[in-house]
Structure 1
Amino acid sequence: MKFKNRITDLLGVEYPIVQAPMGWIARAQLASAVSNAGGLGIIETSSGELDAVREEIAKMRRLTDKPFGVNIAHAFVRDETIIQFVIDQGVKFVTTSAGDPNKYCSQLKAAGLTVFHVVPTLKAALKAVEAGVDGLIVEGGEGGGFKNPQPVMSMVLLPLVRSHVDVPIIAAGGICDGATMAAAFALGAEGVQMGTRMVASAESPVHDNWKQAIVNAAETDTVFLNQFSKPALRALRTEKTTAYEKVHGPEVMGEFRNAKDLYFGGDMEASIALSGQVCGRIGSVEPVAKIIGDTVREFEATVSGLAVRYGVSAS
């Protein structure tokens, strides 16, 4: 299936499928696989390891000749020279998140970059559009990672935002295949972002224990933590996260000091394994190219199948 819409035009990609900018995970190994498969790989900055991020951006140039992007997570950027560095690398697409969209938008756009901002509410979406962003990543509360303390799920949030803005929307939260991509498009999106599905991919750098925990998870096997003390976050249910389910405050965030023991060492109780509720729909670890190819084929089959089933014609 050939896609042509505002997202593919802006990003220069074959498929409007973007990989989420997950800390320590969204680096060249995974991101290049996504870009090479026709989607858009994203390099993260939320780990705060900006020297490593610089190396990963350089590595992307060696691993792919396809477009890729960088995420600038405001809350985690401690060295603002990263902004000019991203510009100097010739990156054409940036997502901004976890902060005020006004902070870097004008600087990035003045340098010719396309800027999308991640939003969890209508209020945030309107603020981002007013700031001059080119588009939005509308992130439902069912998604994994750092969340708004008052989560709004994609079924409500996507059509709400679409009814108030004209800019292109990439849907995030609950997306893992062609059926959910088709649903997001029906609600007003022109692209989708996958996080948890990409964590459980062959090219994901995380330990196999985490990947298998996603594969084995039920749809109820996430917890929403820190709801009354920002940032809130959604993670896989483990003994540690279950214990924190009713605890709020900085001690929850302190658990990320041992993140690499979980991410790369496989100790699922060492830290917090961020994950969306869509873990309950992921049944196997697959190569990125297969994930994206299957998603595109299922999207086409879903859309055309609905038209046939309900007698809808283009006329």
Structure 2
Amino acid sequence: MKTRVTEMLGIEKPIIQAAMGWIARSQLSSAVSNAGGMGIIETSSGELDAVRAEIVKMRALTDKPFGVNVAQAFVRDPSIVQFVIEQGVRFVTTSAGDPMKYTAMLKDAGLTVFHVVPNLAGALRAVEAGVDGLIVEGGEGGGFKNPKDVSTMVLVPQVVAAVDVPVVAAGGIVDGRSMAAAFALGAEGVVMGTRMLTAAECPVHDNWKQAILSADATDTVFLNRAGPGPALRALRTERTTRIEKEGAPGGIFAEFADTQAVYFGGDLEAGVALTGQVAGRIDSVMPVAQIFEETMRDYDAVVARLPR
């Protein structure tokens, strides 16, 4: 498949892996790149020494393109731009901040830049900043969100109609059927986050993966809509149900408590497990390559069945 996204990024399949904090590192990201998609290394953990080491590992694990996400809300030091440039990275996604801040510097260094946006206003500002493309993120996806969430079905065509740069759809994308829907809305690529959590190569604890496999589409919660701080979508647990009902008196970030225990220790009550609504559509753990193969095959089948 060829789209402006695959052509820009030099990838075979128009699938980008979400930049999940602590998780989007070489073990998972190299598998994504080797399967023909775009693996992304995260910076939202703030552990830049570890990120540098992960980029080195990526070059040993894949000869395919990969990128880095600059999560501005979590990495506020402007030296992050020079850091990414020095690593020889050619593709950057920027998120959780103003695209005016880093886009010009990154593009002046010859990098391709996509910015993550939750609404039309953000998309127009990113285009004004000079980005090469947009990742348009619906509120059904997992992770940190704009409190005024808009679904992918509404947001993607709204943005596509207003901009000329390629759009990548994020939120609710899990297979060929949902990718076909995103393309029908005008997207030229998709992001997979929660589906990648359940990939065989994903380093998170099996308890989290099994919770996703057991989940219904209603088994996530949208938290902190009233602030302060960002809103987010997470797996429903006793902890997140309490936050949903009572709020987070100590601030939403205090509720994360021990992220490592959640992600890699399997204690889902030790913090917050960021998860999208598509958890309700995932029923198996598979290698990334198999996920992508099935996605592309099912995409073709869905498109072929559409009435003409």
Q: With structure 2 as the length reference, what TM-score do the two structures score?
A: 0.98
Which residue is 1:207 aligned to? 205
Which residue is 2:267 aligned to? 267
One-letter amino acid of the structure 2 residue matched with residue 21 of structure 1: A
Question: CA offsets per residue over residues 75-127 of structure 1, 9 Å max, x none?
Answer: 01144323112112221110000000011000000000000000000000000
Q: CA deviation at 1:192?
A: 0.2
Q: What is the alpha-carbon distance in structure 1 between the residues aligned to residue 61 and residue 255 of structure 2?
A: 33
Query: Structure 1: which 5+ runs fail to align?
Result: none
Which of the residues 159, 168, 171 maps onto 1:170? 168
Whether 2:141 is the aligned partner of 1:143: answer yes
Pair 1:248–1:255, CA change in 2 (3 A)? closer
Q: What is the alpha-carbon distance in structure 1 between the residues aligned to residue 172 and residue 277 of structure 2?
A: 7
One-letter amino acid of the structure 2 residue matched with residue 217 of structure 1: A
Q: What is the alpha-carbon distance in structure 1 between the residues aligned to residue 18 and residue 203 of structure 2?
A: 14
Q: What is the alpha-carbon distance in structure 1 between the residues aligned to residue 283 and residue 208 of structure 2?
A: 13
How many pairs does the alignment contain? 306
Question: CA offsets per residue over residues 286-311 of structure 1, 9 Å max, x none?
Answer: 110100110011111111111xxx2x
Which of the residues 12, 15, 30 maps onto 1:17? 15
Aligned alpha-carbon RMSD (Å): 0.9
Which residue is 1:198 aligned to? 196
Q: CA deviation at 1:32?
A: 0.1
Q: What is the alpha-carbon distance in structure 2 between the residues aligned to residue 152 and residue 29 of structure 1?
A: 32
Q: What is the alpha-carbon distance in structure 2 between the residues aligned to residue 160 and residue 81 of structure 1?
A: 34
Which residue is 2:214 aligned to? 216
Residues 1-315 of structure 1 correspond to what in structure 2 (within 5 A)? 3-229=1-227, 230-246=229-245, 247-248=247-248, 250-306=250-306, 310=307, 312=308
Identify which range, 30-39 or 87-96, moves more after superposition: 87-96
Q: What is the alpha-carbon distance in structure 2 between the residues aligned to residue 283 and residue 95 of structure 1?
A: 29
Q: What is the alpha-carbon distance in structure 1 between the residues aligned to residue 44 and residue 165 of structure 2?
A: 25
Question: CA offsets per residue over residues 52-97 of structure 1, 9 Å max, x none?
Answer: 1111111100000000000000001144323112112221110000
Question: CA offsets per residue over residues 227-281 of structure 1, 9 Å max, x none?
Answer: 1112000000000000000304553211223000110101010010000000000
Does the 8 Å contact 1:19/1:41 carry over to 2?
yes
SS in 2 for 1:166: coil
SS in 2 for 1:70: strand
One-letter amino acid of the structure 1 residue matched with residue 56 of structure 2: A
Does the 8 Å contact 2:134/2:165 carry over to 1?
yes
Q: What is the alpha-carbon distance in structure 1 between the residues aligned to residue 59 and residue 256 of structure 2?
A: 30
Q: What is the alpha-carbon distance in structure 1 between the residues aligned to residue 268 and residue 242 of structure 2?
A: 14
Does the 8 Å contact 1:48/1:78 carry over to 2?
no
Q: What is the alpha-carbon distance in structure 2 between the residues aligned to residue 251 and residue 124 of structure 1?
A: 25
One-letter amino acid of the structure 1 residue matched with residue 184 of structure 2: A
4+ long deviations beyond 4 Å: none
